[in-house]
Amino acid sequence: MHTPHTAGQPDEATATGKAGPCPHVTVCGLPVHPLTLGESVAAAEALIADGGPHQHVVLNAAKIVQAHDDPELARIIRSCSLVNADGQSVVWAGRLLGSPLPERVAGIDFMTALWRSAARNGYRVYLLGAEPRVVEETARIAAAQGVQVVGHRDGYWDETQEPQVVAAVREARPDILFLAVPSPRKEYFLARRQQELGCALVVGVGGSFDVVAGLRSRAPRWMRRAGLEWFHRLVQEPRRMFLRYAVGNCRFLALTAVYWMRRSAHREGGA
């Protein structure tokens, strides 16, 4: 593996990352690896071979805004070994800011592609998160695809139960842990417990178990390509998603504009 270095706009050169699969670029102050889906899976396989512990994280507009408000979350993201652009808006922002990304790598696409890799390579997999019936159905579907699922548990535990959750994962000895709990809860959990979990790679997958289990549908491909998947989610969960998209998307646009102006000012000053 190569040690990544910061590329892209000079004003973002302070963003640093842990040893990862390739040099990263920066988007709004955060590292993103410019990889396709296939390249991301190959990078994950290299991280698993390395033994870890390594963490994978995806960035969308909402998480970039969260990290802008939360320095600890930003620090955790910068420490991750593999960072993908989950949102099409992040890909567009990268192009605007001089940090081109080859494509969007959606969390659910990465998860299912890594399941296929796990089936081929015999990786041991643990599924943690979502509602009990959802994670059970997700485990059944993954196992039917040839994945060696060595354990699963729902995402509803309190602080007193956390040591037992960690112990259960560690005793199962997975190579990959798929963690389906909301951000920033999953990032904080891993910041506290990643070393104790004992797995080579942890992959945060948000609501992907819900989609796999059929609880929620995914946007049609044309909507995903047009960057409209957020609208599909808004229609499905209007109460939960309204503020996230109405406020969050506007704040992301404003944040991108700030970085674009800084980059433009730097280029004019260096001319």
**Segment 53-81, tens digit of pLDDT:** 999 999 999 899 999 999 999 999 999 99
158-205 pLDDT, tens per residue?
999 999 999 999 999 999 999 999 889 999 999 999 999 999 999 999
CA dist 256 and 246 (Å) reads 16
3-state percent helix, strand, coil for the chain, nearest multiple of 5: 55, 15, 30
Q: Give the pLDDT confidence score for residue 217 in this predicted structure.
A: 53
CA dist 234 and 249 (Å) reads 12
Question: Which distant-in-sequence residues (6+ apart) come within 8 Å of 106 by Cβ?
Answer: 58, 86, 224
Q: Is residue 91 a contact partner of residue 59, using CB atoms and an 8 Å limit?
A: no
95-135 pLDDT, tens per residue?
999 999 999 999 999 999 999 999 999 999 999 999 999 99
208-258 pLDDT, tens per residue?
999 999 877 565 666 666 566 655 565 566 666 656 666 677 898 999 999
Hey, what are 109's tokens? 């696409």
Among the listed residues 128, 117, 109, the one whose alpha carbon sits nearest the alpha carbon of residue 221: 109
pTM for the full predicted model: 0.83
Q: Give the pLDDT confidence score for residue 9 in this predicted structure.
A: 34
Q: Is residue 114 a contact partner of residue 41, using CB atoms and an 8 Å limit?
A: yes
3-state secondary structure of 165: helix
Q: Give the pLDDT confidence score for residue 266 in this predicted structure.
A: 76
CA dist 18 and 107 (Å) reads 20
256-271 pLDDT, tens per residue?
999 999 988 877 666 5
Which one is predicted more confidently, 32 or 250?
A: 32
